[in-house]
């Protein structure tokens, strides 16, 4: 795709020339996020890091001179909004495709070859265990994001619930990541990895607490019968 190497260095080299052409960066972010949501091998996280670094470049014209004085650069807050909506709307498109055409898609050879088997079994087990909250889990699971969001529509998760859960997950992870990278540059990348570990641990603990409470309430209800 465009002859791009989808590594951190490759994506940064692609976006860097557009540090002072913000509209192109915003358009490419939307295109890349849509492609990533459909399971194409475009790493979402590396894309967000790369555009964040490009926004950081635009904040330092002394180090990265603009093509002409006063040239508009990639603006951090705008980039955060664009990145969030690009990610959220891409997830929603996949969900709606699953809701409308999911029954036909899962029967195709492409889907059966690419996603059927252990991956789809994991998706089903997450739905059985977490219900609608699985929408948020898929947001953080790149390999299962496309079939997971497709399944959310196929299995009848209400639109409002998908938007609320997936939107919250995207709101927590996407604009914050872009903002910190754009503001602090490469220095923050190590800390971001540590923060993500803590967030995953916190999310895991929250899920365990929620499951424990659910099991407890079921046991109480059974005893009351």
The ranges assigned to domains in the chain are: 8-188
At 49 the pLDDT is 92
Q: What single-letter DSSP state applies at residue 18?
A: G
At 79 the pLDDT is 97
At 117 the pLDDT is 60
At 164 the pLDDT is 92
Asked if residues 47 and 30 have their Cβ atoms less than 8 Å apart, the reply is no
CA distance 50 to 16: 8
At 206 the pLDDT is 67
pTM (predicted TM-score): 0.79
At 118 the pLDDT is 54
Taking only the tens place, the pLDDT of each residue in 31-43 is 999 998 887 888 8
Residues of the chain with pLDDT under 50: none
């Amino acid at each position: 795709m465009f002859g791009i190497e989808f590594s951190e260095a490759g994506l940064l080299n692609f976006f860097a020339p557009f540090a002072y052409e913000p509209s192109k960066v915003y358009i490419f972010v939307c295109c890349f996020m849509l492609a990533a949501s459909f399971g194409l091998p475009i790493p979402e996280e590396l894309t967000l890091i790369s555009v964040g670094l490009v926004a950081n470049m635009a904040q330092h014209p002394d180090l990265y001179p603009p093509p002409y004085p006063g040239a508009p650069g990639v603006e951090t807050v705008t980039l955060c909004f664009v990145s969030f909506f690009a990610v959220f709307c891409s997830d929603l498109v996949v969900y709606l495709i699953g809701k409308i055409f999911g029954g036909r898609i899962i029967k195709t050879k492409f889907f059966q070859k690419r996603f059927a088997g252990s991956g789809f079994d994991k998706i089903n087990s997450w739905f059985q265990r977490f219900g609608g909250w699985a929408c948020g889990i898929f947001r953080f699971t790149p390999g299962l994001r496309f079939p997971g969001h497709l399944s959310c529509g196929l299995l009848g998760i209400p639109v409002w619930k998908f938007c609320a859960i997936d939107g919250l997950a995207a709101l927590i992870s996407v604009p914050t990541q872009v903002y910190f990278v754009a503001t602090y540059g490469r220095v923050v990348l190590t800390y971001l990895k540590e923060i993500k570990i803590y967030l995953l641990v916190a999310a895991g603990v929250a899920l365990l607490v929620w499951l424990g409470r659910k099991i407890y309430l079921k046991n109480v209800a059974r005893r009351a019968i």
